[in-house]
Amino acid sequence: MDNEIIEKINNKQRGYMEAVITGIHIQVTDAMRNQVEASFKKLEKRIDVTSKMVNFEKNGHLIEMRMSCVTEKGDASVTLTGTDFYAMLKTGIKMIEKQVFHSKSASFKRERMTDLIDDPAVEDTEM
């Protein structure tokens, strides 16, 4: 069997999903696809990602990149426009990470406040 096929089978067994990468008016090369996959693998070390999608659209000399990702804690999406693919990808991954961690910490704070309100040890005193 081909090594690439074996790697895909192993990734599916481990629960790893490939990113859906599409291009409009631009050819998505293997190098672009590999870079996107590598970036998401780094992200998945910190966040449990259930699905991911990247769309590229060429408008004149600019590239518009739309990234979206679904996690257990919520969805995150980013739209970037520029000429440098690698810089946009790096920035997009950082922005998604910030969005997910922000929503994660916000939901944690909400849960903590609910716990404190329901706690019988904390009494509501009127002045």
Q: What pLDDT digit, counting tens, does each position of 92-118 carry?
A: 999 998 888 876 555 555 555 555 455
Chain-centroid distance, C-alpha 61: 26
Degrees, nearest 5: CA angle 42-99-118: 115
Spatial separation of the C-alpha atoms in residues 50 and 72, rounded to whole Å: 7
Q: Which domain holds residue 40?
A: 3-118
User: Would residue 127 count as lying in a domain?
Assistant: no
User: Would residue 110 count as lying in a domain?
Assistant: yes
User: Is 90 exceeded by the pLDDT of residue 80?
Assistant: yes
Question: What three-state secondary structure class fits 18?
Answer: coil
User: Would residue 13 count as lying in a domain?
Assistant: yes
The answer to whether residues 79 and 91 touch, using CB atoms and an 8 Å cutoff, is no
Element holding 91 (H helix, E strand): helix 85-118
User: Would residue 46 count as lying in a domain?
Assistant: yes
User: Would residue 126 count as lying in a domain?
Assistant: no
- Global confidence as pTM: 0.66
Which stretch of 12-26, 87-101, 109-123 has the lowest confidence by average pLDDT? 109-123
